[in-house]
């Protein structure tokens, strides 16, 4: 496994892979690698890609400094896991090259209107501008190819797809299914921050989605059902929403068909999100 710690070495390695006839598959991460990240790497490998895995904790997408400080980091473990997976290029770019002016903002910020206004965007001001800006930089440095994103961050996935289409990047966005623990908890780097007491309550998110998916109903009824399960689980509910999977527009009771349910909650201060398909019926 090759390791790059500066932008030019990263850019050159990706260009060399393309020159050799390979398609470059980018797997962007913030480290604390787990089986969910493994699934993205394996998807790229199945496609025959030259796999570029980036590890960069992006400060611009954290609107809470305490959340940034608490975000799990283990560079040695990440390197070992990436090597065991057979990643071709591990990129560990320094903050000084990604955002040279940090903590001051850059003059350029990427903003995707509409898709980022609600859900996570409503509760985390500036979050998606930070994500869009860093993903743009990752795509620009890596160059043409494919990029792999998990469906767990469903709003992020929709935003990236829109951004790539709008800006004309020569990159195919590949969505990969959510990977879950045996008990149903969606894998997340934040899960390591859950205490033994909080972990059972965190399962309220996946239980809420299962309750919504279990029986078709009007959108308002599905929202109420999910919120009830979350509240019974003892978590601090941020939202329980049913949306159009492409536009992320909240559904009304006149609609029917397959839609997406999204939930978010804080569990002892740890913010978790989850989502899944649901079938809504007319009222």
Q: Which residue has the tokens 């390197």?
A: 79
φ, ψ of residue 53 to 5 degrees: the values are -105, 120
**Catalytic-labelled residue, pool 37, 111, 127, 256:** 37
Distance CA 161, CA 60 (A): 20
Q: Which tokens in the block code for residue 131?
A: 């994500």
Distance CA 164, CA 139 (A): 9
Q: Per DSSP, which regions of the chain are E strands?
A: 2-4, 24-29, 50-55, 89-91, 145-150, 171-176, 236-243, 257-267, 270-280
Active site residue 37: yes
CA gap 258, 280 in Å, rounded: 6
Q: What's the residue count for the chain?
A: 283
Please report where in the chains the tokens 């033994």 appear, as a residue. 196
What are the catalytic residues?
Answer: 37
């Amino acid at each position: 496994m090759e390791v790059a710690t500066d932008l030019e070495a990263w850019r050159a390695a990706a260009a060399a892979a393309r020159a050799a006839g390979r398609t470059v598959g980018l797997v962007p991460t913030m480290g604390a690698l787990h089986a969910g990240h493994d699934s993205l790497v394996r998807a790229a490998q199945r496609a025959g890609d030259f796999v570029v895995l980036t590890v960069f904790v992006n400060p611009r997408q954290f609107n809470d400094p305490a959340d940034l400080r608490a975000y799990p980091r283990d560079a040695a473990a990440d390197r070992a896991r990436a090597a065991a997976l057979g990643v071709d290029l591990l990129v560990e770019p320094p903050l000084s090259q990604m955002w040279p002016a940090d903590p001051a903002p850059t003059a350029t910020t990427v903003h995707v209107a509409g898709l980022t206004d609600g859900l996570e965007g409503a509760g985390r001001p500036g979050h998606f501008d930070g994500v869009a800006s860093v993903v743009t930089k990752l795509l620009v440095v890596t160059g043409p190819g494919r990029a792999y994103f998990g469906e767990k961050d469903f709003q992020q996935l929709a935003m990236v797809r829109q951004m790539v289409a709008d800006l004309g990047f020569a990159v195919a966005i590949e969505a990969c299914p959510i990977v879950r623990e045996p008990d149903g908890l969606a894998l997340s780097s934040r899960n390591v921050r859950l205490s033994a007491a909080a972990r059972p309550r965190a399962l309220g998110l996946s239980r809420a989605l299962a309750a919504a998916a279990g029986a078709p109903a009007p959108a308002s009824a599905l929202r109420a059902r999910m919120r009830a399960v979350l509240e019974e689980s003892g978590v601090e509910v941020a939202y329980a929403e049913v949306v159009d999977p492409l536009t992320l527009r909240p559904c009304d009771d006149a609609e029917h068909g397959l839609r997406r349910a999204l939930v978010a909650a804080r569990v002892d201060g740890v913010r978790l999100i989850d989502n899944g398909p649901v079938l809504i019926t007319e009222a």
